[in-house]
Amino acid sequence: MELYRNTIFGFYRESDSLIHRIDPRIKIILLFIFIIYMSFVKTFSEIILIGIFLFFIIKLSDSSFLYILKGLKPVLPIIILIWIFQILFYMGEPGRIFFQWHFIRISSLGIKISCLMMIKAISIYFISSIFFLTTELISFTNAIERLILPLQKIKFPSHEIIMVGVIAFRFVPTLIEELERLMKAQIARGANLDRGNFIIRTIKLSGLLIPLFISAYERAEDLILAMESRCYRGGKGRTGRISKKFKKLDFFSVIYVLLIFIFIFLLVRYFKLP
Amino acid sequence: MKITVRQIVIAGILGAIAILLGWPVLGALPIGFIPVPNISGHATIMHIPAILGGVLEGPIVGILVGGIFGFASFYMATTISPNPFFSDPLVAILPRLFIGLISYLVYTATKKINNSVALIFAGIFGSFTNTIFVLGMIHLTGKGNFLAWLIQVLPQAIVEAVIAAIIALIIGKAIDVYRGSRGVKAK
C-alpha cells in the first residue's frame, strides 16, 4: 500500500541537443502541425517520407529509436488485435476480396488502409514521445501559459485556465497521500477492494471515493476562503516570471519543418505516388 | 467570460482526482481501473470527476475538469503507460471537454423528474459522451473505422456507463449532504 513511493513521475531526458534547445512554444505548434498533417495522410509513400523525417528528428533529439519502441511492447498485443478488427470490419471500397462471411470480409484495400491507420497512430505516438522526452513538464506548462495569455485580449480566461491546471497538479500528491490513508483504514476494517464482479467492486470503491471527494471538497472550501480573503482577482497586469524571447533557431525550425511538409505534400500529389 | 474563484478551485481539485484515479502505480492497476474482459482489459472511472463537475458546479467546471482529464490521459499515453491511440491531443483532449457539458445538460433537463434519476442519467450520458466522442475523433483523424472500434469497446462502454451511473448517484448525494451541512448553496 505504498502508493506514493511507487508512483511513477517524469519522462524527460536531460541533454543539450538541437531539439531540446528549440523554444517549447514552437515545439507545441510544430507538434500540432505534424499531428494535423498526419490526419490527412492517405498514401504509403507519404508515410515513408514522414518516417525518414521522423528518423532525423530522433537523431537530432539525442534519443534512441529503440527506447521509444520498447515503450510500446506491453500494448503490442492490443495494437495487433485492433488492427485485425479494423481489417475484418472495413466498410469502404473492398478492392480484391479474399474472404467474406456476412459483413465480415478480408479485402486487399481493407488490409492496406488498416496498415496505414496503425502506422499513422504509431508515428503520432513517436512524435509526441519525442516532444515529452525533450521538454520538461514545467517548461511545457509555461509554454502553454505564454501561448494562450494573449487571448486574454478577447476576454478568453487564459489565466484562470492555467490556474486550474496548477491547482490540479499541486493537489495530486496531497490527494495520493489521503487516498493511501483511506485505503489503509478500509483494509484495517476488513475491506477487500479487489474481489468480486464490477458492480460489487464499484460499490466497494465508493467506500474510498466518498471520503476522498468529501475531503477534496473540504480542502477546496478552505482554499476558496483563503483566496477570496486575499482578494484574488486573476492575473490582471501580471508579468511572467520567465520571459523568453524567440531565437534564430526557433524561426529556422519552423521554416524547415513547414518546407519539409510542403515538399512531401507536393511531391506525393504531383507525381501521384501510391 | 468570467470564471469565479470558486469555479477555479473546485475544477482544479476535481481535476486532481481525475489525474490521481488514472496515474500508474508500480505493479498494480491504478485505483480508477476496474478489470473488464475487453480489448483494453479495464474500464476507467477517470471521467467521473468531469461528470460530477458538470452536474454539481455547472458547465464551465465540467469543461475544465474534462480538459485536465484529457491532458492527463494524453500525457500518460505518450510517456508512462504508452498507448498510441491516445498520444494524439485531438483524440485525448478535445472530446473530453464535452463530458461535463453534456452531463450538465442532461442533469438540468431531467432534474424536474427526480434528483437521483437525473444523477443516474447524467452518469450514463457523460460516460457515453466519452466513448462516442473519442471514437468519433479516432475515426476523423484517420486512425480507424468507427464501427470496428465500437464493436471492440462496447463491453467496456456499457460497464463504464453502469459504473458512472452508480458512482455519480452515490457521490452526488454525498456531496449534497455535505453541502447541506456546511450551508453551501448548490448551483
Residues 6+ apart with CB under 8 A from B74: A128, B86, B87, B88, B89, B92, B93
Q: Can you give the pLDDT at residue A89?
A: 83
Q: Can you give the pLDDT at residue A42?
A: 83
Q: Which of A124, A128, A109, A45 is nearest to B145 (CA)?
A: A109
Tell me the chain A residues in contact with residue B9 when contact means C-beta distances shorter than 8 Å. 167, 220, 223-224, 227
In angstroms, the separation between the Cα of residue A250 and the nearest Cα of chain B is 22
Res. A1: pLDDT tops 60: no
The neighbour count for residue A101, using CB atoms within 10 Å, is 8
* CATH value at residue B67: 1.10.1760.20
pLDDT, tens only, A157-177: 888 888 899 899 889 888 988
Distance between CA A238 and CA B127 in Å, rounded? Answer: 39
B34 inside domain: yes
The total number of structural domains that make up chain B:
1
Distance between CA B94 and CA B135 in Å, rounded? Answer: 12
Whether ipTM tops 0.85, in short, is yes
Res. A11: pLDDT tops 80: no
The answer to whether residue A172 neighbours chain B at the CB level (below 8 Å) is yes
Window 242-261 of A: residues touching B by CB (8 A cutoff) are none
The cell 487564459 sits on which residue? A158
Q: Which of A268, A256, A272, A274 is nearest to A33 (CA)?
A: A256
Tell me the chain A residues in contact with residue B147 when contact means C-beta distances shorter than 8 Å. 89, 91
* pLDDT band with cut points at 50, 70 and 90 for residue B185: low
Task: Report in angstroms the alpha-carbon separations of B152 from A82, B21, B37.
Answer: 8, 23, 11
Q: Can you give the pLDDT at residue A52?
A: 92
Q: Which of B73, B8, B162, B37 is nearest to A160 (CA)?
A: B8
A91 vs B1, B26, B147: nearest CB: B147
CB contact under 8 A, A202 and B166: yes
A108-135 in b/e form (b: 16+ CB < 10 A) is eebbbbbebbbbbbbbbbbbbbbbbbbb
CB contact under 8 A, B26 and A6: yes
B111 inside domain: yes
Strand-pair category, A104-107 with A97-101: antiparallel
Distance between CA B91 and CA B85 in Å, rounded? Answer: 8
Task: Report in angstroms the alpha-carbon separations of B75 from A65, A216, B110.
Answer: 19, 23, 35
Cβ(B89)–Cβ(B74) below 8 Å: yes
A202 vs B23, B34, B78: nearest CB: B34
pLDDT, tens only, B39-83: 676 788 889 999 999 999 999 999 999 999 999 899 888 887 788
Tell me the chain A residues in contact with residue B168 when contact means C-beta distances shorter than 8 Å. none
Q: How many CA atoms lie within 13 A of B79 on its CB side?
A: 21
The answer to whether residue B16 neighbours chain A at the CB level (below 8 Å) is yes
B187 inside domain: no
Distance between CA A103 and CA A208 in Å, rounded? Answer: 45
* pLDDT band with cut points at 50, 70 and 90 for residue A259: very high
CB contact under 8 A, B15 and A165: yes
B122 inside domain: yes
B69 inside domain: yes
B49 inside domain: yes
pLDDT, tens only, B2-35: 788 999 999 999 999 998 888 776 555 677 677 7
B130-159: average pLDDT? 88
Q: Can you give the pLDDT at residue B85?
A: 87
Q: Which domain holds residue B24?
A: 5-182
Which residue does chain B place closest to A11, by CA atoms? B79
Largest Cα–Cα separation, chain B: 50
pLDDT, tens only, A78-104: 889 888 888 888 877 777 778 777 778
Q: Can you give the pLDDT at residue A192?
A: 78
Burial class (CB in 10 A: 0-12, 13-18, 19+), B157: buried
Q: Can you give the pLDDT at residue A232?
A: 85
In angstroms, the separation between the Cα of residue B131 and the nearest Cα of chain A is 16
Distance between CA A127 and CA A32 in Å, rounded? Answer: 10
CB contact under 8 A, B90 and A35: yes
Give the mean pLDDT of chain A. Answer: 85
* E-assigned strand segments in chain B: 33-35, 42-44
CB contact under 8 A, A163 and B8: yes
